[in-house]
Every structure is written in structure tokens, then in C-alpha cells.
Chains A and B, each alone.
Chain A
Amino acid sequence: MSNDTFVDTFREEALELLGTLETALLELEENPQDKELLSAVFRVMHTIKGSAAMFGLDKISKFAHEVESILSALREGKLSVSKELIGNTLLARDLILEMLDNLSEATGPLSSKLLDFLKNFKLIIGFVSVEEKVLPEIQKDKKGNRESKERRQTYHIVFKPGIDSFRRGCNPLLLIQELMSLGEVVNIPVFDQITDLESLDPESCLVSWEIYITTTATENELRDVFIFVEDFSEIHIKCLDNLIDESGETNKRVGEILIEQGKLSVEELDSLLGSQKRIGELLVEEKLVSATDLKVALESQKQIQQVQKNKALHDDMSTIRVKSEKLDELMALVGELVTVHAQILQTSKTVEENEKLNSVVEQFGRLTDELRNNTMSIRMVPIGTTFSSFKRLVRDLSSELGKNVVLEADGGETELDKTVIEKLNDPLVHIIRNSLDHGIESPEVRSSRGKPKTGTIRLSAIQSGASVFISIEDDGNGLNKEAILKKAITKGIVAPDAQLEEQAVFRLIFAPGFSTKEAVSAVSGRGVGMDVVNRQMEIIGGSLAIESEETKFSRITLKIPLTLAIVEGLLVRIGLEHFIVPLSVVVGCMEFIQADQRKNSSIVLFQDRQLPFVNMREFFSIPGERNSIEQIVIVTIKDQQFGLLVDQIIGGNQTVIKPLGKLFRNATGISNGSILGDGSVALIIDVEQIIGSLETINND
């Protein structure tokens, strides 16, 4: 691996870290007391500093070091989280990003621009006054350096000093102090042996401790702390991480923990279950366990959950970095393999029945399916990362516009193919910018409308079948139908006498060059952004819907296909042509005998319901005579069911999507194409478009 490759790797990792940093900073601004977030922010800066130094990028390293010093003071409580601190740390992040974009400039001393920035940053947050005190401490803090390099583990220590500890000249508190120097400690004293005053032997050591320590120290290093007292004391050390690895149990209840610790019997616990009160309170009330035992159990539960959380985080990090192009290549190859499997299957049917061949083809099919699913899952990315990236946009833009806006996100764990996510970024940016500029009102207007001064933009994602629905909602102005229509008429987008449905009026905001805003600002008004949304939706085969109520809200819902590579389809034939209906919209199939139908009726009875159907032969103008027995594929779109009349339903088909090219862009009723096992082309039916075009014809 050449040095350049190492530097590239550093750059990629640093970009990822800066993404994490931005998210963590924005979350920290909302939750300034969250120590975990604060530690995460610190760790990112610390890692960037160390890695940059390793690759000789000393300008980045020095700059990160300065910012790290500020964050260290913050972590030690010498500074507090403020808007200025978060804002400037975000700017520092942007400056590191700039240096990463131009690595040739990332060496040498700090430029005057960086020095001025740091000076101003420190001045604004009052760091100058604490700086002298902080720096020597940072230099001394070897523990911190170690923390970032090694994995921290949580141990449960039971420490019962011998009863004669005082007489032996031992001070157990010094041992606890030593433990505290090794990591984060929660120590719970146990007073069970301390009697009333009259019978108390004050020169005996009667107190013991249940200690939880999260540290990079090893179990042996922890045992070393007790080395001089182990002969006359009781010491038990257990690593919680190992316990979780062994048992795999995570969400233990307090009752279960107390039983495990031998402080409660199953019968005692059972006798209290079913009560409305919390089990812990009940156990103490009934004197089945002491308050200390309960405290220890609760702490144990908390620590186990924390360990599990950290473990999940660590597991997430056990990944390898693969270039996205390689994944695209892999997906393309899998697509070809799926096609080849279809060809083999087809060919195997043409030769004489051969049990062994059939078995091999079937096995090949199963493996291809698994490979396809695995490859697709590798490409699936949670949309949450994209959602998080908009927090900064909302923060900066709302401040620029003098508005108070919060961004709420829901369903961030919903996964989409990475190619789809990449294509979604621009439309979402435009919709959010539009919401900020046109949607959310100024604080004064919001107050006069009885709304909270802070507006909300809510992003949510949910998967349904082979689609993901992403909605962007704001509680602002809503859409003004009259103003939209008036502007569209002025711009010649619609005829002055046009009678448009509400949805059609709303959709005008996506027309090229459309904007109701009189003045062009840096944020919006050129009528370009929303057009991008429309075009991008067309490219990814998605669709959009708008709901709005004036002065109340606007909601734009994007319907996005999970992947752009492969769909499960139902292969059908009309005449000599093959078509594929995406399986995600199929609800059933039925036979159709023309002779049984009333003449020219376009209604069929399916599961006791009358459904309209479309004669696909007529729709696509395919020549030839209709068969006496045909078949209908029942599909559902927007909660409505329809039938598609075809000659024959052939069966399920793994469809590798092949784009049709510009020539077919305006072809109604088809979205893409696919190659069948015999090498012929099958067109993928766009059911929504077919139904939409029929509705238009009926309305006209």
C-alpha cells in the first residue's frame, strides 16, 4: 500500500468522523448535559488530531489539538455548552473539511486565518481565562490518550474489606481512590453489617462496596489495586462485557438481577408480580430486599444496558471499508447472474427430463437468491444519516432567516439502496429550504396565529412493501391555492380558464420556473429547486403527493423504490409480448372468461368486491385476437384495487431492472425493462401511471 493510499484512507475516515462530529454537536446543543455526546465529540477531535499527525498532516493535527483543548475544558466542566461554542466547533469542523479537500495545504504552521479563528473562538467562549490552567492538565492526562486507543470495559467489583482492616492499618478508601484514578466509577456502599450504636464495634470495618468501573484497565490491573488486602478481604471482579457475551441477555429486569445476586427468591418475586407499583418499591416496602440491594440491582441493570449499548457501537465499528464502485460492480454482476439463472432454468425445460439437472438448477436458483439478497442488503443504508445532515442546514438557514425552527426526524433506521439515498439528497434539500423560506413563518407571525414561536419541520420515513415513504412536513403557512394558481396563469403555465383539482394546483409548485415569491433571495425564489424534486423523482421512479391546509401545515410525501437494481415481479404475456408487474403491488390473480361477461363491462368480481379492470392489450395497442380464457392480475395502488387483463400469467420472476433510455421516457405505463431467460426483453409495467392515465381520460 503506497503512502498516498494511506493518506486517502485517512481522508475517508476523517470525512466520516467529521460527519459524526456534526451530528454529535447538533445533538449536544439540544442535550447539553449528555456526557456521552460530549465524549463522542471529544473522541472525534482527538482521533483526527492523532491520525493527522501520523500522516504528517501537521496543520490539521495542530488545529485539531487546539480545538481538542477547548473540548477537553468543556468535558471537565470548565466551560459550558453554549450556542457560540457549538457554532464555532461546527466552523472548526468546516475548516478541517477544507484542509482535507486540499491535503497539499494541510502541512506546515497554522495559517493566519486558522490562528485568527482560534483566537476569536477562545475569546467568545471565555476559554482564554481557563486555558493556562487546562493545558498542563491535558498534557498530564495519560489516561485520556489511553482511552481513545483501547476498548473500555465495565467491571463489577464486590469489595468487602476484612473486619480487622483498621487494626491492620489498612484504609479501604485509598483503594477506592486508586480505582477512581483508573476510570469512571460508581460505588455503592453496603451498610448491612453496621449495627445500632449500642452494639457497634467502631474499630471494626463493617462497610463494603459494590463498585462498577468503566475503564481501559485489564482485570489484572484492577486486581493489583487490592493486592495488599486480598489476604484478609473478599474481592470479586467480573467483567460485564464478558457476562453479556456469554449469556447474550440484555434487558434483565430488576427482579431477575436480585434473584441472580441471591438476594431474592423466585417465590418472593412471584408473590409481588401483578401489582401496579414498581417492583423495586414493593420489594423494599415488603422488606424482602434492602434499599441498598435495590440500588445495586438498579445500577447493575443500568451498567449492563450501557455495556450492551457500547458493545453494539463497537460491533458496528467492526467493518471494512469498500469503495462504492466495487459494490455497484458486484450488484451488476449479481444482476447478470440472475439473468443467467433464468436462462438456465428456461433451457433446462427444453431438454429431456433430468432429475439431477433439475436439482442443480434449483440449487443454483437458491444460491442466486441468497447472493442477490445479501448483495442488496450490503447496499442498504439507513436514511437517518441523510436526515441528520439536514440538522445543520436547518440550524444555519433558520438563523439566517431570523426564524426559530427545529428539525425532528423519525424512522431514521429505515433502509434504502445507497444509490437511491444519494439521489434523494437534492430533492430533500430543496423541499426543506422551501419549507424554511416559504413555509415556516417569522416568530411574530406565528405568535399572532397562536402557534409556538418555534416552527417544526418533521422528516419521517417508513417502509411499505417495496417502497419507502418519506414525508417532509412543516407547521407553517401551508399552500395558498389562489396565489399558486394566479402565479401559474401569469407565467403561462396553465390556461386562465383551467379548472384544476386541489392536487393539480399543489403540483404546480413543481413546475419549472415556478415561484410565488416576488423577490429572489439566496434561499429561494428562482423557481428552480422544486423542479429538481420533480425531475429527480422521475429518475428514481418515485412519485410524490402533497397535502396542505393554509396557515396550518404542508406535507410532501415521496414514494421511493427500495432499490433501483432488482425487483420481484410477476411475468405476464399479452400476445407475443412479455411484461412484468412488480410483485409489490400484486394482491391476487383470477381467471377471466370473456363469454361470461356482460358486453363491454369493465368490472369483475374479486373476493366479493366489484373491481374495475384495464384491458392491457388495448392499453398498449397490441395486435391480435383475445383468448377465450384470459387472466386478470389484481393490483393495489393508493388503497384502491384494480385489475389488469392479460393473456397469460407465467409466474414469479426476479427482475433485473434495465433502464429503457431517453427514447421511451414519455411512454405511458412502463417504467423500465428487463431481459428474460431466453434473451428477449420484458417491459416493467408502471401500474400507477396506467391507473393515473385512465383517471385523466375519464375526467376529460
Chain B
Amino acid sequence: MSKKVQLDIENIAQTRAGFLAVLDSGAELIVDFEKCVGLDLSGFQLLVSLVREAKEKKKTVVFCGELKKEHAQLMILFGVNERDCLTGEELEKNLKAVL
């Protein structure tokens, strides 16, 4: 998925549908955080669900790109990271570790 990623409450239902469509097609889902334009708790929940999906149903989901500073700070509030300047890869690793 190389389009812009909208992970906020206004767009979350649509983004979820987009994610599902990609995964159902059997394609690899790449979430590039450099293209993430909005992120809030609802988006964070979606990411957790995505990682769980990938882990349990062996789907290919890849997080990549550097998180924007404000998003990285949000991750600290979520409690998945203790410092900012997080990359998509690190976030994926952290989420997998607690699921």
C-alpha cells in the first residue's frame, strides 16, 4: 500500500476497509509511516489489529519508514515505546513483542 495512510478517527473505517482489501487479495501490505498523515488512538488500535492479523493468519504486513515526530511522541503515550524517533520496523517489532 503505497498511498497516503490516514489513521485517525475520521478515516479509520475507510482505512480498515482498504487494509482488508489488500490482505484479502493476498498481496503484501506495506504501511509506510512517512506517508502517514493522521494518527490517533483509533489508528493505533488498527495497527495492533493488523499486526495480530499478520501474526495469527500468517499474512504479510510490513511497517516501514520513519515516524513523524508527533506520531513518535504519540507512541510514547500509547505505551509501546519509551523514546521517540521510532521507525515503522521498530514499531512492528515492539507490537509483536507484546501481542
Contacts and interface: CB of A to CB of B under 8 A. Distances in A.
Interface of A: 166, 171-173, 176-177, 180, 187-189, 191, 194-198, 200, 202-203, 205-207, 209, 291-292, 295
B46 A172 contact: no
A291 B97 CA distance: 8
B81 to A, nearest CB: 11
Contacts of B97: 291
Nearest to B57: A196
Contact of B79 (A171, A188, A195): A188
B15 to A, nearest CB: 8
Contacts of B98: 189, 191, 291-292, 295
B79 A189 contact: yes
B78 A173 contact: yes
B9 interface: yes
Given A171-B40, A196-B57, A205-B45, 14 more contacts: A176-B79, A188-B79, A191-B52, A195-B49, A196-B52, A197-B19, A197-B49, A198-B53, A202-B45, A207-B41, A207-B44, A207-B48, A207-B78, A291-B99
A387 B57 CA distance: 61
B46 A202 contact: yes
A194 B42 CA distance: 11
B66 to A, nearest CB: 21
Nearest to B44: A207
Interface in B72-86: 74, 77-80
Interface string B1-39: 000000001001101100110010000000000000000
Contacts of A189: 78-80, 98
Residue of B15, B23, B52, B57 with most chain A CB atoms under a 10 A cut-off: B52
Contacts of B41: 166, 171-173, 205, 207
Contacts of A195: 49, 52
Contacts of A203: 9, 12-13, 42
A180 B79 CA distance: 11
Nearest to A206: B45
A173 B40 contact: yes
A180 B76 CA distance: 10
A200 B80 contact: no
Contacts of A180: 77
B12 to A, nearest CB: 4
Nearest to B59: A197
A177 B77 contact: yes
B50 interface: yes
B77 A202 contact: no
Given A166-B42, A207-B44, A194 B52 contact: yes
Nearest to A188: B79
A191 B42 contact: no
A194 B74 contact: no
B77 A194 contact: no
A167 B40 CA distance: 14
A295 B99 CA distance: 11
A202 B13 contact: yes
13 contacts: A173-B74, A173-B77, A194-B49, A194-B52, A197-B52, A198-B20, A202-B45, A202-B46, A203-B12, A205-B45, A207-B48, A291-B98, A295-B98
Contacts of A191: 48, 52, 98-99
Given A189-B80, A191-B99, A291-B98, A200 B44 contact: no
B12 A196 contact: no
A53 B44 CA distance: 50
A209 to B, nearest CB: 6
B85 to A, nearest CB: 13
Contacts of A187: 77, 79
Nearest to A211: B79
Nearest to B23: A197
A203 B49 CA distance: 13
B16 to A, nearest CB: 5
A198 B56 CA distance: 13
B79 to A, nearest CB: 4
B44 to A, nearest CB: 7
Contacts of A171: 40-41
Residue of B40, B45, B50, B57 with most chain A CB atoms under a 10 A cut-off: B45
A575 B41 CA distance: 94
Interface string B43-68: 01110111011001100000000000
Contacts of A291: 97-99
A226 to B, nearest CB: 15
A196 B54 CA distance: 9
A194 B12 CA distance: 14
Contacts of A292: 98
B9 to A, nearest CB: 5
Nearest to B47: A194
Residue of B48, B49, B74, B78 with most chain A CB atoms under a 10 A cut-off: B49
A166 B10 CA distance: 10
Contacts of B56: 196
A173 B79 CA distance: 10
A200 B46 CA distance: 8
A200 B78 contact: no
Contacts of B48: 191, 194, 207
A197 B79 contact: no
Given A291-B99, A295-B98, A200 B16 contact: yes
A207 B78 CA distance: 9
Nearest to A172: B41
Contact of A194 (B16, B19, B45): B45
Contacts of A177: 77
B99 A176 contact: no
A191 B77 CA distance: 15
B79 A202 contact: no
The 3 closest A-B pairs by CB, nearest first: A187-B79, A202-B12, A189-B79
A145 to B, nearest CB: 25
Nearest to A199: B49
A336 B23 CA distance: 90
Interface string B83-99: 00000000000000111
A205 B78 CA distance: 13
B45 A207 contact: yes
Contacts of A194: 45, 48-49, 52
B97 to A, nearest CB: 7
A463 to B, nearest CB: 43
A197 B53 contact: yes
Contacts of B52: 191, 194-197
A295 B79 CA distance: 12
B45 A200 contact: yes
A197 B16 contact: yes
Contacts of B78: 173, 189, 207
Nearest to B82: A186
A173 B44 CA distance: 11
Residue of A187, A198, A202, A291 with most chain B CB atoms under a 10 A cut-off: A202
Nearest to B74: A173
Residue of A188, A196, A205, A292 with most chain B CB atoms under a 10 A cut-off: A196
Contacts of A166: 9, 41-42
B50 A197 contact: yes
